[in-house]
Amino acid sequence: MTRKIGFLVFPQFQILDLTGPLAAFEMPSRNVRPKPYRLQVVSEFGGLVKSSSGLAVATERIGTSSFDTVIAVGGLGTADAARSLPVKAFVRKAAKTCRRVTSVCSGTFILAAAGLLNGLRVTTHWRAATLLQKRYPDIHVECDRIFVKQGSIWTAAGVTAGIDLALALIEEDLGPEVAKAAARDLVVYYRRPGGQSQFSALLDLEATSERVQNALSYARAHLGKVRSVEQLAKAAGLSPRQFGRLFLAETGQTPAKAIEKLRAEMAKARIEDSDEPIETIARTVGFSDPERMRRAFVRTYGHPPQTLRRIARGLRYE
């Protein structure tokens, strides 16, 4: 059975949003017979479409083919594509006739503009997550996910996350061994779980004021000993109320939520890289008990600690 995969592009699209997943879908055709995928790039008007890097690709006009799976890529031209009536009509039709409709990076905006995502959990590139949530309040945006599956709708974060998405789709279609072989050919990990964070919590917490920076420096150095917002407020030289307001304004998170993410990130590295007991790790990074850490991991990464350890061990020995 050959499945037809359609890649939707537009002027000023991001070239890696296209070529990353396209290369992933190409890999199984080297080893599987009959060829499992037929790949086609489409656009509103067809013909050559120039990416934001200046490289142009040949496309077919939308509406001339039917597909098993449609992938809307992202890029600088996403806003114009999301306003296009023919593009939105194409995506809506795909949602009714295709087995899956997916997006990479800011391509999520195209699916949202077509009305496909209301009430669903989705992701996009972390830089665009706040705008997506503001523009489409009926969507639940998970800005720290690599990809999210909701029924037949899949959304992925920026650029290389498109490869993670494609490998997950290949696994769903052809099984884990074919997906693993594709990952090896691409020289990428098989597999980063969809719940893995897009970026470091430490990077996400960079603040502009010296007071909040002092509090973050204190938290990083004494993460296992921080027990209250009052401790951080004292390091910042502010009252707890003043500190909470300033921290939220500068980082977009409450102090408690930020510390939870920092603890989870520190614990995750130790869980994946060592055989240290999970209970010991929980205490060391400041969680009061393993159950609190488990809930924090599910919120942050979509998986409990034990699952992430099993995945890491599998990657280590493949």
> Which residues are annotated as catalytic?
105
CB 104 within 8 A of CB 162: yes
Cα–Cα distance, 307 to 22 (Å, whole number):
29
Q: Which residues of 233-250 are buried (b: 16+ CB within 10 A; e: fewer)?
A: bebbebebeebbebbeeb
SS3 string of the chain? CCEEEEEECCCCECHHHHHHHHHHHHHHHHCCCCCCEEEEEEECCCEEEEECCCCEEEEEECCCCCCCEEEECCECCHHHHHHCHHHHHHHHHHHHHCCEEEEEHHHHHHHHHCCCCCCCEECCCHHHHHHHHHHCCCCEECCCCCEEEECCEEEECCCCHHHHHHHHHHHHHHCHHHHHHHHHHHCCCCCCCCCCCCCCHHHHCCCCCHHHHHHHHHHHHCHHHCCCHHHHHHHHCCCHHHHHHHHHHHHCCCHHHHHHHHHHHHHHHHHHHCCCCHHHHHHHHCCCCHHHHHHHHHHHHCCCHHHHHHHHHHHHHC
Cα–Cα distance, 153 to 143 (Å, whole number):
17
